[in-house]
Structure 1
């Protein structure tokens, strides 16, 4: 694979990470401050918002771990080490991060449903389901890639021994 393709993918990873960083730095603190003001006024729903915000901030950690592992995987491809245990390890970490994000948003969905019912905004539930579903799809896809890569490494090692 030429470096142009991996360079494009590396840039894509940065482009994916920037909006989430902006969300974590600008939008979520603003929502947290509004929820804090509502909690001081005695609104019980504000604590549900705090729970969702904690889950959203918590899911940013495995998201960025997965992005970093994706960058490492692309650098292994650049160094012609794509068929190595390092690549399998990076895929395993991406898979585990995606499963963790899925689990966090499955836990958050009931809370999101409460807020959507209160605010009459059913789109919130759909957004939570899309995030959970897409992370599940990523986890399954990466698990398949990980298994294929492990088999390819095994076949490659057998061929190296026979020559």
Structure 2
């Protein structure tokens, strides 16, 4: 295993641990605390969005880990890498769509609690996911072009 990708693999792993802890420990506590303050038809759909958005998040982390493994094996310029970037792009768009769909509920809770910063926090998650998706799409296109150039070079004597 190369040192450069080892650091990135550890970083990917460390990014996943707090989100897993939040899903297992944090969100149930938030639900119990907020259940007394907000109506269930506001709170539970928003918590569902948060839990469902964890699925594409972890799928994207696994794809990033696979991409780093392809780099380790000197297989970075392959269709597998392009596919991993495509999956990361789709996962980021899915997270963005889920949180954008949950924003009306965030608005209702922020309005009830008089906390406009909650809306800003929700929008940061939406836009950060869009930025990741666009970046993955650009990298996917760049990698695809590099693979095409490489295959064209391999055919040239």
Q: How does 1:14-53 map to 2 (within 5 A)?
A: 14-36=13-35, 38=36, 45-53=39-47
What SS does the aligned partner of 1:95 have?
helix
Q: Would the aligned equivalents of 1:95 and 1:138 in 2 still touch at CA under 8 Å? A: yes
Output one character per residue of 1:57-100: Cα deviation in whole Å (capped at 9) or x when no partner. Answer: 00000000000000000000000000000000000000000000
How far residue 28 of structure 1 moved from its aligned partner, in angstroms, is 0.6
Runs of 5+ consecutive residues of structure 1 not aligned to the other structure: none
Runs of 4 or more, structure 1, over 2 Å off, are: 31-36, 43-46
RMSD: 1.4
Equivalent of 1:142 in 133, 136, 140: 136
**TM-score of the two chains, using structure 1 as the length reference:** 0.92
Q: How does 1:9-158 map to 2 (within 5 A)?
A: 9-36=8-35, 38=36, 45-158=39-152
Q: Would the aligned equivalents of 1:35 and 1:50 in 2 still touch at CA under 8 Å? A: no
**TM-score of the two chains, using structure 2 as the length reference:** 0.95
- The alignment covers a number of residue pairs equal to 157
How far residue 27 of structure 1 moved from its aligned partner, in angstroms, is 1.1
Runs of 5+ consecutive residues of structure 2 not aligned to the other structure: none
How far residue 45 of structure 1 moved from its aligned partner, in angstroms, is 2.2
